[in-house]
């Protein structure tokens, strides 16, 4: 049997989930496949060899990237040189388009098959990127049903695979018992606080989220807040913030339990990003917030062409959940939006219905569909034969 060599680069936690699922599905068919590149803990648990820590790529925002640019360019150059000298059978860039598309372009130019997993947000901004994507990648794996239409002008090979999170959450029966696992009574009012996994997100959102929690606690003394940290480093920084400024807050700091925290919550205060999709799939009311460096926001706000920034609203095509951005991210505003979300039962029922519809659209066994598409590309390139 052919032994495949597959290079992959994931830049953050959401990409690590996608990469781990793809590795699992390919290994079912080709157990001896070698996977290497840059990935996180989940990918490494599947036998992936990460030559650089994934955290090195986890940086967000135009201004924030500038300070890390020499390091990022050096990492990419080393990968490019190594993989041109010893080419993989296919390179799969998982999201992180600013890093991966250039690498894909360079590898495709020397004949390496290239896949970009997660369509860049061409429907939201920089729509002309479809031409660069066409030059850079042989196959785009799209997570959402509306994305393929945006690539029609270039006749890009796009496969809609659904979203692995929809499959994972639907199969995880433990989430139904999240309160029991966390020793929380059914009668306790719970709010999950998710200010993001990146350092830059915590810098702008952690304090306002916790201040909003304090305001709510003043009105509802028995309320419990859950604050999950993405890793030990984030846990340490959040614990320091709690010890210094939020000693009286009824908050429980968790490690690596963001999904359990969301499942246990009555409502969620959350940074815009992939976690909002998890909250949608868990059918939870939420308030979405985001804040970044003023210059970065000034640039991005002029580039964005969609009326919404959060995935539940984008997928629904309407404003289902509140979005609080930049200068509006104040403790008073966040607390007020959360309180409205908690009190309106009619609104909660509407969300339940719409979120169920979104779930049904995305639950397609994405890992298997993505593996099918990658294998089909390798067969088209003659790297695999159809009977292998």
Condensed to tens digits (0 to 9), the pLDDT of residues 59-89 reads: 544 444 555 778 888 999 999 999 999 999 9
- Look at residue 52 and tell me whether its pLDDT is greater than 50: yes
pLDDT at position 61, please?
Answer: 45
Instruction: Let me know whether 9 and 83 are in one domain.
Output: yes
Instruction: Let me know whether 158 and 191 are in one domain.
Output: no
Instruction: Let me know whether 351 and 215 are in one domain.
Output: yes
Instruction: Let me know whether 146 and 219 are in one domain.
Output: no
pLDDT interval class at 191 (50, 70, 90): very high
State the residue range of the domain holding 194.
169-362
Q: 85 — alpha (psi -120 to 50), left (phi > 0) or beta?
A: alpha
pLDDT tens, 143-160? 998 898 989 999 999 999
Instruction: Let me know whether 311 and 338 are in one domain.
Output: yes
Average pLDDT, the chain: 90
pLDDT at position 198, please?
Answer: 78
Instruction: Let me know whether 263 and 333 are in one domain.
Output: yes
Instruction: Indicate yes or no: pTM above 0.85.
Output: no
Assigned domain for 386 exists: no
Helix and strand tally (H, E) in the chain? 17, 13
Assigned domain for 16 exists: yes
pLDDT interval class at 340 (50, 70, 90): very high
Going edge to edge, which strands form the sheet with 113-117? 49-53, 34-39, 5-10, 90-94, 113-117, 139-142, 158-160
- Look at residue 169 and tell me whether its pLDDT is greater than 80: yes
Assigned domain for 206 exists: yes
- Look at residue 119 and tell me whether its pLDDT is greater than 70: yes
Instruction: Let me know whether 13 and 154 are in one domain.
Output: yes
pLDDT tens, 366-375? 999 999 999 9
pLDDT at position 126, please?
Answer: 64
Instruction: Let me know whether 111 and 228 are in one domain.
Output: no
Instruction: Let me know whether 117 and 202 are in one domain.
Output: no
pLDDT at position 127, please?
Answer: 76
Gap between the Cα atoms of 156 and 174, Å rounded: 40
Instruction: Let me know whether 123 and 249 are in one domain.
Output: no
Assigned domain for 388 exists: no
Assigned domain for 385 exists: no
Instruction: Let me know whether 58 and 175 are in one domain.
Output: no
Assigned domain for 228 exists: yes
Instruction: Let me know whether 304 and 375 are in one domain.
Output: no
Q: How many domains does the chain have?
A: 2
pLDDT at position 2, please?
Answer: 66
Indicate which CATH number applies to the domain containing 176. Answer: 3.40.50.2000
Assigned domain for 148 exists: yes
pLDDT at position 320, please?
Answer: 94
Assigned domain for 286 exists: yes
pLDDT at position 181, please?
Answer: 92
DSSP structure class, residue 54: G
Segment 181-202 shows an average pLDDT of 90
């Amino acid at each position: 049997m052919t032994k495949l060599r597959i290079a992959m680069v994931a830049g953050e936690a959401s990409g690590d989930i996608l990469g781990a699922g793809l590795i699992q599905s390919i290994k079912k068919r080709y157990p001896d496949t070698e996977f290497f590149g840059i990935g996180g803990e989940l990918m490494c648990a599947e036998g992936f060899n990460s030559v650089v820590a994934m955290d090195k790529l986890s940086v967000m925002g135009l201004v924030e990237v500038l300070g890390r640019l020499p390091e990022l360019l050096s990492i990419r150059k080393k990968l490019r040189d190594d993989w041109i000298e010893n080419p993989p059978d296919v390179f799969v860039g998982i999201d992180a388009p600013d890093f991966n598309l250039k690498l894909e372009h360079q590898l495709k130019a020397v004949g390496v098959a290239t896949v970009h997993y997660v369509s860049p947000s061409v429907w939201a901004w920089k729509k002309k990127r479809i031409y660069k994507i066409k030059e850079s990648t042989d196959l785009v794996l799209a997570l959402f049903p509306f994305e393929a239409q945006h690539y029609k002008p270039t006749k890009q090979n796009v496969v809609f695979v659904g979203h692995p999170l929809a499959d994972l959450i639907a199969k995880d029966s433990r989430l139904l018992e999240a309160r029991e696992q966390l020793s929380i009574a059914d009668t306790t009012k719970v709010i999950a606080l998710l200010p993001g996994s990146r350092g830059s997100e915590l810098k702008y959102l952690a304090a306002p989220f916790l201040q909003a929690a304090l305001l709510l606690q003043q009105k509802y003394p028995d309320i419990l807040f859950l604050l999950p940290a993405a890793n030990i480093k984030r846990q340490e920084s959040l614990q320091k913030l709690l010890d210094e400024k939020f000693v009286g807050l009824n908050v429980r700091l968790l490690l690596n339990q963001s999904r359990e925290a969301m499942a246990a919550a009555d409502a969620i205060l959350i940074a815009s990003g992939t976690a909002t999709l998890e909250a949608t799939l868990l059918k939870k009311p939420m308030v979405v917030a985001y804040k970044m460096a003023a210059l970065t926001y000034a640039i991005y706000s002029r580039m964005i062409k969609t009326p919404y920034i959060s995935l539940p609203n984008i997928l629904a095509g309407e404003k289902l959940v509140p979005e609080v951005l930049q200068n509006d991210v104040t403790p008073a505003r966040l607390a007020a939006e959360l309180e409205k979300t908690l009190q309106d039962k009619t609104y909660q029922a509407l969300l339940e219905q719409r979120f169920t519809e979104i779930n049904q659209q995305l639950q397609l066994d994405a890992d298997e569909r993505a593996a099918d598409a990658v294998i089909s590309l390798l067969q088209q390139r003659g790297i695999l034969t159809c009977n292998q």
